[in-house]
Structure 1
Amino acid sequence: MHSRIGFLTYEISHAIRQRFNREMENMGLTHAQWRALVLLSENENCRQVDLADKLEVKPITLARQVDLLEEAGLVCRKKDHEDRRAYRLELTAKANSIMQELWAVADSVENQVLGILSADEEALLLDLLQRIKAHITEHPFVHGR
């Protein structure tokens, strides 16, 4: 039997992102921008390059997203006092209120997706996924098992 978990988790993740993006259309934000806002809210005043690393994207890709978020009044770039080539990012007050709306949309999408599971099944799924994530994070990939 061939491995299917990677393909299946990718397809589920893709479907969830599509639903989220459809829900977010009226707010003018994408899933990628929401991820940037969430990670920035957890890492306030971080350097732009460090946020790109956490998001696992190239700095130039994040720079474009930050440009859009800055134009929307959600993020503020400030010069890094320690490295004049770098910028530090902060959420604005407007972003903090929008984050509440984003979390409500995310909760709604998650409820739609997990609605077919009982509360016990949902808890078990979450536990299993967290264990898998912890395992693959703690144990680097070794070819061939």
Structure 2
Amino acid sequence: MHPNTSNWEWDQGPIGRMVKAANITLRREIEEQLKGTGLTHTQWSALGILHYFPGITSSELELILMIERPSVTSLMNGLEKKKLIIRKSHPEDARYKQIFLTEEGEKVAIETKQISYIVENQILEGFSAEEFEIFKKLLIKLVNLFEKR
């Protein structure tokens, strides 16, 4: 006999589960905002990064997005197929490819940039400005605790 999980209280679990629940909740809201764009959350994130860091390499994107190399390759292939990015040989080392937004990719990145502001404003509806700043500082502190090892 399995326990009734329909009334499971996620907020009673370990901190890792709470952080994951928060991340999934935010991701779902961003995906809701992305409906109609044809972009996934990760594709949208990549376009934003490429907008600010044109010419970065796949390995640099891998670090920023915190995803594995095969996932970056698949992501880049998908964005290239949509004609949102172009890969060019690195001028100093042909073994590396630099990634740039196409004109269409730049347009999409700019048009969808406001999604992060929309979601952040939704968060601010439930947080005071001070709570929000403390929350961000605590998240940074949490990541830094484990990154410094």
Above 0.5 in TM-score?
yes
Alignment partner of 1:119 is 2:129 = yes
Gapped runs of 5+ residues in structure 2? 1-11
Alignment partner of 1:8 is 2:18 = yes
Q: Counterpart of 2:7?
A: none
Which one of 18, 26, 29 corresponds to residue 36 of structure 2? 26
Corresponding letter in the other structure for 1:16:
L
Q: Aligned pair in 2 of structure 1 residues 127, 18: CA closer, same or farther (>3 Å)?
A: same
How many Å separate the matches in 2 of 1:49 and 1:136?
21
Compute the displacement of 1:75 (Å): 0.9
Structure 2 counterparts to residues 1-145 of structure 1, below 5 A: 4-137=14-147, 139-140=148-149
Q: Aligned pair in 2 of structure 1 residues 73, 11: CA closer, same or farther (>3 Å)?
A: same
Residues 33 and 69, structure 1, Cα contact 8 Å, conserved in 2: yes
Residues 49 and 59, structure 1, Cα contact 8 Å, conserved in 2: yes
Residues 86 and 99, structure 2, Cα contact 8 Å, conserved in 1: yes
SS in 2 for 1:77: strand
SS in 2 for 1:132: helix
How many Å separate the matches in 2 of 1:118 and 1:10?
22
Q: TM-score when scaled to structure 1?
A: 0.79
Question: How many residues end up aligned between the 2 structures?
Answer: 138
SS in 2 for 1:115: helix
How many Å separate the matches in 2 of 1:114 and 1:4?
25
Q: Aligned pair in 2 of structure 1 residues 119, 57: CA closer, same or farther (>3 Å)?
A: closer
How many Å separate the matches in 1 of 2:30 and 2:77?
22
Q: Deviations over 1:38-88 (max 9, x none)?
A: 333343212223322332323222122112212222211112344444321
Residues 48 and 113, structure 2, Cα contact 8 Å, conserved in 1: no
How many Å separate the matches in 1 of 2:43 and 2:119?
17
How many Å separate the matches in 2 of 1:95 and 1:85?
24
Gapped runs of 5+ residues in structure 1? 141-145
SS in 1 for 2:135: helix
Give the aligned CA root-mean-square deviation in angstroms: 2.2
Q: Counterpart of 2:6?
A: none
How many Å separate the matches in 1 of 2:131 and 2:66?
30
Residues 16 and 113, structure 1, Cα contact 8 Å, conserved in 2: no
Aligned sequence identity (%): 25
